Structure formats: C-alpha cells, structure tokens
Structure 1
Amino acid sequence: MIYDVAIIGAGSMGMAAGYYLAKNGKTVALIDSNNPPHSNGSHHGETRIIRHAYGEGDSYVPLALRSQELWYELEQASNRKLFHQTGVLNIGSKESIFLQNVIQSVEKYKLSAEILTAQEINKRWPGYHLPDSLIGCFETNSGVLMSEEAIIAYRDLAIKHGANLYTNSQVQHLNVTNDLTTIELADQHIEAKQLIITAGKGTNQILSLLGYELPLQPVRKTFSWFEAKEEIYHSHTFPAWSYDNAIEIYYGFPSIDGAGIKIGRHDGGYPVQTKETLKAFGTYPEDKQDVTQFIHQYMSADLKHKQGKVCTYTNTPDGNFIIDRLPNYQNVITACGFSGHGFKFSSGVGELLSQMVIHGKSSLDIGYFSLDRF
C-alpha cells in the first residue's frame, strides 16, 4: 500500500494532522518512536494553557482563535472534556514587553479582556498576593487544555477515520523522490506520496537522514504541583496565569480534579541531546526552589510542594515556530521548534498541515514560521 501521507512523530501536532487528513479522506500512516500519549515529549503533565491575547506577538492571534474553535469541535467529536474556561490572567510590570503585546493583541482583535491593578487582582482572587508594581490583563475566554486527553481524542478519531498508527517504531532510513517517500523501520517499510515530520526533539535526527539540520535546541524543563485549598484555587474560581517581568517567566494552573496548583518556569532550562535521557526531577536544586520561591512570594507561603516532573522544550533561536516545506523536497513538510508554547496551537497546526498537503497552501498566513528566516 502507498499512503497519501506519512507522518513521523505522532505527538500533538502529528496526531492532529493525522486526524484532519484522515477525516478528509486521505490514507495516513502515523509513525512514532513511543506510544502516544507518553512522557518522552512535550505533551504530558495533564494540562496546557491556551491564551488568545498573545504576549509573544499578535501575529499568533488568528491561529490561537482558530485553534480554540477546533478544540471545541474536538470536544464534541470525541465526547471528552478537553477545555476548562478558567480565563487566563497575564501578569507583569507596566514596562513588560510581554504584557504590552498582550494588551496590543486585545485591542487589535477586540478580544474579551480587562486590565486590572494588583489590588484588584488580589481582591478578586484571594489566592494572589501581588505587589502594587504589577498589573494584569485577564482574558475571559481563554483557559486550560487537557493535553494528554487531547492526544487520545485525536488518536482515537484518526484511527476511526482509517489512519494506521505505527508505535514504538524507530525510523532507520529515508528515501525521498519527487513522487514517493520510503520510510525504513526496523521490521518493515512504509511508502507514501507526501511526508510530514513532526518529531519534536527528534526532528534533526530524522532530518539528518535527508542531509538537513535545523537550528533547534532541546531543553530539559520541569513543572510542579502544590497542595492547595480547593475553595481558593479550584478551577471554578481561580484562573490560569502567566507572569513575565522581563527577567523571569512563570506560568501556572488552578487546581483541576483535586490535583493542586501546577506551576512551571518558562525561561531557562538545561540543553539536552536528542537521545539523552532526561535527568529526574530534583536533580538540580532549582527544579523545586524556583517555583517554590515564586509561589510563596506571589501567592501563599502555606502552599506545599507536592510533586514535580520533567519535560522537553525544543527551542528555535527566536522562539517562534517552524512550519514549512523543506527546500528541494517540496513533498516534505516539517513542523517543529515550538519552543514551549506550541501545544495550544496543535489543533490549528494540525489543520494547517492537512491543508498544505491537500491544497498546497494553508488558510492562514504562516510566513513568519518559514525556514528562510534562518
């Protein structure tokens, strides 16, 4: 059998693309070195924030809004609870470029949001204890995605629409011509007319088989949960949030299903090699110390650390995504370098990738994700 499309890397972006392609009648092979959802990529840890007013630049907003629509559609199609509309509070100093970009996004796209002083934030959500030097922009329609549940939903629906999933399968060799891609696995080979590479931290390992290397740096990251009073920090009453003071960046979640508050530090981290096993949580003192110091300073000193986990960011030099065709390989598309802020867009990116395969172009302008900027 010759597939219409093979996808190497069936995590968030790849699994979503597989679903939208299969739903549109394409024959799809989804190939992954693990068995998604799993803990070796960037989608585990239960939850991810989706923000619409985007501090990383307002060019992301149309994709964020389309992604939100698709998350609602996926909830209906899968009959799973994937989104909690907690709102998202973006916190920063008045001089913060991040917060200025958030406010600019709100104004440009007429998003539902309000600007709050620290005193107003502390009064509305007693779980915060912010100093007067900070302000916030509260997005009412944003919230929290259940990341692993979303992967399962896409996986089940992709298979329902006829996609074939090859798990725990290592790619040994690639042969790409203008008409056909042959993917050699350990015990079989797969042929397809077009190829999508969405392999996360393993992207350069796959691209090396075609003689390519992109400016990607996998980084070890951590996140933690803290015990919390449900009446204060439950998702029904407390928002998801981000914090950027131009020096350090944190993000966090309310307690969902009794899990406790979740918090992580977005900046920093330790570079890792593609095949390197991530060092366990607690290997470095800052794994726990950074988030504990932050949460005690800006929330409550009574919050006690519960558990921590590790994950991976795959960073580009400018922190923006790569979604493009490979030069000299017009039937090969790569989507990578999501730099720790990509999951919320995976529904939209999956749709864009399916459009690039089916129509030769995407419905949204993604020129700012092109390879030629490097």
Structure 2
Amino acid sequence: MTQTFHSKTLIIGAGSMGLATADYLASVGEESIQLLDAHSPPHDQGAHHGETRLIRLAYGEGSGYVPLALRALERWRELERETGESLFVPTGVLNLGPASAPFIRQVEASASQFDLPLELIGGEAAAGRWPGWQLDDSVRGGFESRAGVLRVERIIACWRQRVARRAGVTLTTGAVVTDIRPRDDGGFTARCADGRRFVADRVLAATGQHLAPLLAPLGIELPLTRVRKTFAWFEADARYRPERFPGFSLTDEELGIYYGFPAIDGAGFKIGRHDSGQPLAPGAPMAPFGDHPDDVAELQQVIDRYLPGVGKLEHGAVCHYVRTPDEHFLIDEPLPGLIIAGGFSGHGFKFASAMGEALGQWLRTEMAPAALAGFGLARLSA
C-alpha cells in the first residue's frame, strides 16, 4: 500500500537553503512542515561540503546583494549565540586584482554605496602587511575587516539538530523525489522513487542539480547548468594561520578567478578556482580530484606566482556549481504555491541564513519578499 503523508508546507531538498528555511519556519511557530532529502545532511552530494565558505559584504557580484549579505551576517551571529557553536571565523577578506577588473571596481562601488568599511591597499603594501602574499603594485587590494569564513558543515549539522528538536518539523532522509504534480483540489503531491507520496499546500523546491529535471515535466524550463569544480588543501607555514592571513578572492587576467582560506583548525591552506570547470549533466558522476589534467595545475600556478609559503598538496576534493546564464540566483513561484530556489552554487552559501528567513516568509505570507525580487525567472526568459 502506498504511504501518503500530509503537511501544510513541504520543503524538497535539505541542503543549506532547505534546512535554513525549515529552521526559520519552526522558530516563528509554524507547524506541519515536512522536509525531504535524497541523502542525509551534511553530505557531499550537494554544494555545502568542503568545510568552509567566505562571507563578503562589499559584494563584487553586484551591489544588489549587499543588504542580503548584511542580514545574513546578522543571522549567522544569532545562530552562533543560540547554539554556542563557533560558526564564523572573523579573518577579514582581501579582494585582489587589477584596479580595472570589473569585480574589483564593483567591490569598491558596493562599499561606497552602502558605506561599508573597505581599506584600499596597493599590492606591495598588502604583501608587507600579510607576508604570505607575493604581490606588486599591478595588483590592488580591498580589505573587508567585517568579512570572514563560515564553517559550512558545522552550520548544516547545527540546523539539522535544531530541526530535529522542533515539534512541528519532520525530516525524512533517503527520499528521492521523482516528480511534483499539482492537485485538482489545490496544493501539490511529490512522489518518491520508493512510492511514498507527500502532499502539501505549499512547496519549496531547492534540489540543486536536480531542480531543472524535476520541474521540466510541469512545462517549467529552467536554464541551469552544472559544472564540475575542484578545490584543495596544501601544506603551509605559519604565515597562513587565520590570525595572520585573511580569506581572499583573487582576479588574475591571465590565470583566472580564485578564492582561498587560511589554515583553519590545522586543515591546511585551502584554494579553489571560481571560473572554468567541466560541464556535467544532472546526476552524472563527477570524476574524482586529480582525474582531470587541470585539477592540480590550475591551483599550483597561482601558488607559484603569489603564495611563497604554501607547500605540497595535502588532498583535493570535487564539488559542483549549478549556475544560471548570468550567474545570479534563480528564485521564483512559477506555479501558485510552488516556490523554486536554485542557481546558488559558486556564491550562494553565505546568504543561506538570510535566504531561509526570506523563503520562509514567502511560504508563510504567500507574498514574495522585496529582497528576492531581482532573482525571478522572467529576466532569464527575456
């Protein structure tokens, strides 16, 4: 006999956005929330593994993100206070690149528009202040003292523990949703591969790489692409301890766009490449780190040029980005009562605390928050 479960709100995908939304809804007294995940978070099948993510405020991807980033930092601090966990490491973030680079120019514009602290510094001065860098004055730096590093897997574990203690939320793992269908009497039915059905009045689908295939049978075409990405940890000397070296973004017109972290908790110096990568179909397996010829070489070239105290490779990992054509988020309500959230990979996690609040408000009030107005599907269709 097919099992059918009923709830007021159904959240498909218990990654960063799904868990954050469930946690917010439960915190404001909402009940009858069903949360589904194909795996068991935290895990390495989505976009939240890899230990750490940067949170930046003077945003180089566009000043429209700044209010959301500021709210996110407030909520990360709240989560720390409520859980007693260390979730944010205040390393600061140094944005580096040619003064003419669009990203660097937008960092400065965002800081100016929102009166954010941003210390402008030349490359040689930056290398003097942070000796882990080898820089000249062809590079310009913008240092954000309020920015830092989020401990992502610890955050996911905190949210899962909080959700487990909430009477109004049920988390079901191992639930592979294969389709969503509108009901004649209103609401939606989500069907799982094992035959279980979940019926709800309102649905949030935040399923990462599986979002576009899940919505396609409803006639909703989502322009999302999946890209294999790599990052790695390296041995490093004392110059790269978190009290002596900030998180960073680096734009090099020849080598590409990179991001990195000091050696937090003895894990080693971490670096990854933001641009480039190998396209993948949804659900296709990712080749392990080292299988592609560029996996180590594209990271090593940056280390050789800029980071004199970074040594041999310790280990690497793979992840994926799920991107829209303009690399901004995709958040919309393509059918009444069905909210979709995707295209976050690459720069989404830092916003998850604020995004959970905004998506939760949308589910509660049936009105889209103004903070999410710029992320609709219409801009991509046009």
Shorter-chain TM-score range: over 0.9
The correspondence of residues 145-160 of structure 1 with structure 2, limited to 5 A, is 145-160=150-165
User: What percentage of residue pairs aligned between the two structures are identical?
Assistant: 42
TM-score (norm 2): 0.94
Residues 1:14 and 2:18 are matched in the alignment: yes
- AA matched with 2:318: V
Q: 1:292-331 maps to which residues of 2 (within 5 A)?
A: 292-300=300-308, 303-326=311-334, 329-331=335-337
Match runs of 1:90-239 below 5 Å: 90-162=95-167, 163-177=169-183, 179-185=186-192, 186-229=194-237, 231-239=238-246
Would you say 1:257 and 2:265 are equivalent positions? yes
**1:78, CA displacement in angstroms?**
1.9
Task: Name the SS for the 2:363 alignment partner.
Answer: helix
Distance 1:373 1:103 in 2: 26
Shift of 1:157: 1.2
Secondary structure, aligned partner of 2:264:
coil
Are the counterparts in 2 of residues 171 and 183 from structure 1 also a CA contact under 8 Å?
A: yes
Matching residue of 2:55? 50
Q: Which residue of 2 aligns with 1:353?
A: 359
* TM superposition shift of 1:173: 3.2
Given candidates 354, 374, 378, the residue that maps to 1:368 is 374
Between the aligned partners of 1:301 and 1:113, the Cα distance in structure 2 is 26
How far did 1:50 drift?
0.3
1:174 Cα shift?
2.1
Runs (5+) with no aligned partner, structure 2: none
The aligned amino acid for 1:34 is H
In the TM superposition, what whole-angstrom CA distance separates every residue of 1:211-233 from its partner, at most 9, and x where no partner exists?
3220000100000001011x311
Superposition RMSD in Å: 1.4
Return the TM-score normalized by structure 1: 0.96
Query: Could you say if the C-alpha distance between residues 240 and 302 of structure 1 is closer, same or farther in structure 2, counting changes exceeding 3 Å?
Result: closer
**Aligned counterparts of 1:266 and 1:366: Cα–Cα separation in 2:** 24
Instruction: Give how far 1:131 is off.
Output: 2.3
Q: Deviations over 1:232-268 (max 9, x none)?
A: 1111221000012355100000010111110000001
Taking a change above 3 Å as real, the CA distance of residues 66 and 364 of structure 1, as seen in their structure-2 partners, is farther
* Post-superposition offset of 1:289: 0.6
Task: Please identify runs of 4+ aligned residues in structure 1 that moved more than 4 A.
Answer: none
Deviations 1:21-51 (A, max 9, x none): 1222222111111111111111100000000
Structure 2 counterpart of 1:353, one-letter code: L
- 1:3 corresponds to: 7
Quote the Cα distance in structure 2 between the aligned partners of 1:23 and 1:113.
Answer: 34
Which sections of structure 1, spanning at least 5 residues, go unmatched? none
Change (3 A) 1:298 1:198: same
